[in-house]
Structure 1
Amino acid sequence: MKFIHLSLFWGMMFMSTIALGSNTPAEKLIFRLKKIQKKGIMIGHQDDPVYGRTWKWDTGRSDVKDVCGDYPAVMGFDLGKLELGRKENLDGVSFDRMREEIIAQHARGGIVTLSWHPDNPVTEKTAWDPSGDAVKASLPHGTHRAKMREWVDKVGNFILSLKDKGGNLVPVIFRPFHEMSGGWFWWGSNSCTPEEYQQLYRVLYRRLVSMGCDNLVWAYSPNVGYDDFMKYYPGDQYVDLLGIDIYEFDKDNAKYQLSVKQCLDELAALGKQENKLIAFTETGCQGLPYADWFSQTLWPAIKDYPISYVLFWRNAWDNAKECYMTSPGHATENDFKAFYKLKKTLFVNDIK
C-alpha cells in the first residue's frame, strides 16, 4: 500500500495521510507498464497525431503510422500555456484537440505522457527564462504562490477532464519540471537550490493529489550531463518512474551512444535499487541526417536495457531542425520500417 501526503491548500502546513490502494488509474497503469516492460521497449513520439514534418492539424494522421502502419505505443503532449488560460499550447496544439487525442490513444490501447513547460511566473517570459528567482517565489510563503496555485489548479482541472466513454479517468505519465539539472529552465540548476526544487515538485504533487488526480504516474527526469542523478530527487513517495533526456545535436553518433549507455547503466541500477520503472523520456537526433540512425545508432545503445519506453521528440512542420522521427519520403523511412519489425520494439498493436 502506498502512502501519500496531502495538502488541502497551497500555503498550509497541515498535512494528512491517506492510503491509496492498487485500484487507482495510476496504480493500474504502473502494473501494466511493468508487464509490458518484460516484452520490450515501447516506441513513443511527441505530438504524433496532431502534426508532422509536412502537415498540421489533420485528423487520423501520424508520421509514424504513415510509415509503418501502426501508431506509436506512447504519445507525448505538452501543457505549456495551459496555466495562462490559453486555448492552444506553446506549439499551437489546441487543448481540446489534445484531450481528444489523449482519450483516443487510451481507447486504442496506447500510453500517454505529459510534460509541462509553464511560463516564468515572475518575469512572465517563457519557461526558458531562468531569471527572477521564480522557484522561491512560487513556493509557500513566496511572492507568487497564489499565481502558481492558480496555474496548478488549471493543470489539475485539465487532467481531471481526461475521461473515457465510461467516465473513468484516463491514466497518464506526468513529467513536470523536467531537465532540472540543466540551467535553461526557471526551475533549473542555475535558478534554485536542490531543496527548493524538491519542495516545488512536492507542492505540485500534493496539490494535484488533493484535487483527486489519482490518474498520474509521476516521472522524474534530469538531462544528460548531471553531476548527481538523485540531486534533485523529491523522494520515493513522489516518484513512480525515473527517466533521462539525451539528444544528439552535434552529429556524433559514437558520442551519443556512449552518453546513452553511461546514463542507462546508472538508470537501470537506480531503478532496481529504488524499485522504480525507468524510461528514456526524451531523445532524438536533430534533423535526422543519418538514414540508418534508428537501427544502427539508437537501437544498439538501448536494446539491452529494461526501459519502459523511448520518446522521440516532435516533427515540426515549420522548423526543419525539429525533426526527430521518420516520415513518408524521409531518408530514414526504410530503416524505421526495419526498426518497427524488431521483436522488442513495441507499438500500439503490440501492447493491446
Structure 2
Amino acid sequence: MDLNVLQKAMVACIFCFLIFACKKAGSAEEKIQPPVVADRFNINSNLVTPNPSPEAGKLYQFLRENYGKKILSGVMTLDSFDETNWLKANTGKEPAIVGLDFMHCNRGYTWYNDKAPIKDAKDYWLKNGIPVMVWHWRDPSRATEEFYSNKTSFDISKINDPQSVEYKAMLSDIDYVAGLLKELQKDNVPVIWRPLHEAAGTWFWWGAKGAAPCKKLYQLMFDRMVNYHKLNNLIWVWTREPNDDAWYPGDEYVDIVGRDIYKQGDHTSQVPEFSTLTNLYNNKKMITISECGSMPDVDNLTKDAAAWSWFMPWYGDFVRSGTHNSLELWKKMFASNYVITLDEMPSLKNQ
C-alpha cells in the first residue's frame, strides 16, 4: 500500500476518534447535574390549617417544590406598589412577592382606606404575584397609636383574663383583621400571614411581657381566625428571633419560619443563620428571610447552598436609595435563573 495513503488513513482514523471522544465527553458533562439542594430537606407536605383553600394549597406546594432549587424575590411596600413600580421602571422586572401591612387599619384614620392592603393583595394576585401580610399592630386600647413597647404601656399579659378590657380589645382587633382577610378568601386569594413578628426582640408590645403571653396570643389568633372565622386561605409564618425557643407557638400553628435580618451592606448568604434554623426545626419547616435590610447576593446564595425560600427588603431607602441595595445588585438578582421574578410566576389560581 502506498505509504502516503496509509498515513492519510491513519490520520483520518485518529481525527474521527478524537471527534467521537470529544462528543462523548461533552455528553457526559451535560448529563452531570449538581445534587438538588432540596434533597437535604423533608418539608411538611400539608398546611397547619385544616382543609386549606385550593389556592393556599397550590401556593404552599409551589413554595415547597422550589425550596432549595430557587429563591423567590420579594419587596415590602407601604403605599400601594411604590417599590414594585420603582423596580419595574429601573430593572424591567417586578418581584414575585409583595409585602403589605395592616398597620393603619381599624384606627379610624380619615386619610386612610382600610381596604387598601386588601385591594393591593388582590391586584398582585391577579398578576400571579404572592401577597405577604404583616401587622404592625397599634395599641389595642387606643390609648396611643403606637406599637413599640417603649411608647405604649398596653399589657399583653391580660391575655390570661378573658374578662379584661385588654383581652376584649385584642380580640376585637383580631376579629376586624379576620374580616379583611375573609374578603380575600371570598375572592380566592391566598395570603402568607406573618403576625406578631420579631416578638422575642421585645421592642413591640406583643413581646414586652415575655414568651408566655405572646405565645398564648398567637395561639388565640390562630384559633379565632381558623376555627371561629373559618379562614382557610392563610399560610402561617412565625418570625423567629435568636434564642426564642420558649416563644415558639408550636409546629401545629406554624407553616414557615421567617427571620428578619438587618445588617447594612452585608450581602452574604447568611448561611450560618439558615443552617441553625433548618436544624432547629428538623428540616420540616421552610425557612425564609421574611425581612431584610441588605439582601444576600445570589452568587453567595448558590455558592453556600443557603436555600432561603424568599427574601424581602423593607420599603423606602432599603429598596431605592442604593445605600442598602444597589440598583446593580437588583438587576443582577432579577436576571439570575436562581431568582424567581413576577414574570416567571405561574398562575396558582384554581382554574
Q: TM-score, normalised by structure 2?
A: 0.75
Q: Aligned match of 2:168 in 143, 146, 149?
A: 146
The residue that corresponds to 2:260 in the other structure is 245
Establish whether residue 193 from structure 1 lines up as the match of residue 210 from structure 2: yes
Contact 1:160–1:169 under 8 Å retained in 2: no
Establish whether residue 77 from structure 1 lines up as the match of residue 92 from structure 2: no
CA 274–85 in structure 1, closer or farther in 2 if over 3 Å, else same: farther
CA 84–3 in structure 1, closer or farther in 2 if over 3 Å, else same: same
SS at match of 2:147: coil
- Deviation for aligned residue 1:336: 2.0
Tell me how far apart the structure 2 counterparts of residues 343 and 298 of structure 1 sit (CA, whole Å). Answer: 13
- Deviation for aligned residue 1:133: 5.3
* Structure-to-structure mapping, 1:1-352, within 5 angstroms: 20-21=50-51, 23-47=53-77, 50=80, 52=82, 62-86=85-109, 94-122=113-141, 123-130=143-150, 131-132=152-153, 134-141=155-162, 142-162=164-184, 167-188=186-207, 191-209=208-226, 210-223=228-241, 226=242, 228-249=243-264, 253=266, 257=268, 260-271=270-281, 273=282, 275-285=284-294, 298-303=297-302, 304-315=305-316, 323-326=317-320, 332-352=326-346
Tell me how far apart the structure 2 counterparts of residues 87 and 26 of structure 1 sit (CA, whole Å). Answer: 33
Listed one character per residue, the Cα deviations across residues 70-107 of structure 1 (whole Å, up to 9, x for unaligned) are 2210000110131324466xxx6x43332222112111
Listed one character per residue, the Cα deviations across residues 100-137 of structure 1 (whole Å, up to 9, x for unaligned) are 22112111111111110111234434111345352112
Alignment-mate amino acid for residue 117 of structure 1: H
Decide which moves more: 196-205 or 31-40: 31-40
Alignment-mate amino acid for residue 29 of structure 1: L
Listed one character per residue, the Cα deviations across residues 243-264 of structure 1 (whole Å, up to 9, x for unaligned) are 1001124x5x3xx748x33211
Aligned residues: 295
Alignment-mate amino acid for residue 206 of structure 2: W
SS at match of 1:44: strand
Contact 1:46–1:311 under 8 Å retained in 2: yes
Alignment-mate amino acid for residue 217 of structure 2: L
CA 298–138 in structure 1, closer or farther in 2 if over 3 Å, else same: farther
Tell me how far apart the structure 1 counterparts of residues 196 and 52 of structure 2 sit (CA, whole Å). Answer: 26
CA radius of gyration, larger in: 2
Alignment-mate amino acid for residue 201 of structure 1: Y
CA 95–39 in structure 1, closer or farther in 2 if over 3 Å, else same: farther
Unmatched tracts of structure 1, length 5 or more: 5-18, 54-60, 286-293, 316-322
Tell me how far apart the structure 1 counterparts of residues 340 and 80 of structure 2 sit (CA, whole Å). Answer: 21
SS at match of 2:206: coil
SS at match of 2:262: strand
Matched-pair identity in %: 22
- Deviation for aligned residue 1:298: 3.5
- Deviation for aligned residue 1:218: 0.5
CA 193–229 in structure 1, closer or farther in 2 if over 3 Å, else same: closer
Tell me how far apart the structure 1 counterparts of residues 190 and 81 of structure 2 sit (CA, whole Å). Answer: 23
Greater fraction strand? 1
- Deviation for aligned residue 1:337: 1.4
Tell me how far apart the structure 2 counterparts of residues 306 and 331 of structure 1 sit (CA, whole Å). Answer: 20
Alignment-mate amino acid for residue 124 of structure 1: T
SS at match of 1:181: helix
Contact 2:293–2:314 under 8 Å retained in 1: yes
CA 48–118 in structure 1, closer or farther in 2 if over 3 Å, else same: closer
Q: Aligned-pair RMSD on alpha carbons?
A: 2.9
SS at match of 2:277: helix
- Deviation for aligned residue 1:38: 4.7
- Deviation for aligned residue 1:22: 5.4
- Deviation for aligned residue 1:63: 1.3
CA 220–3 in structure 1, closer or farther in 2 if over 3 Å, else same: closer
CA 183–21 in structure 1, closer or farther in 2 if over 3 Å, else same: closer
Alignment-mate amino acid for residue 203 of structure 2: W
SS at match of 2:200: coil
Alignment-mate amino acid for residue 268 of structure 1: T
Unmatched tracts of structure 2, length 5 or more: 1-44, 347-351
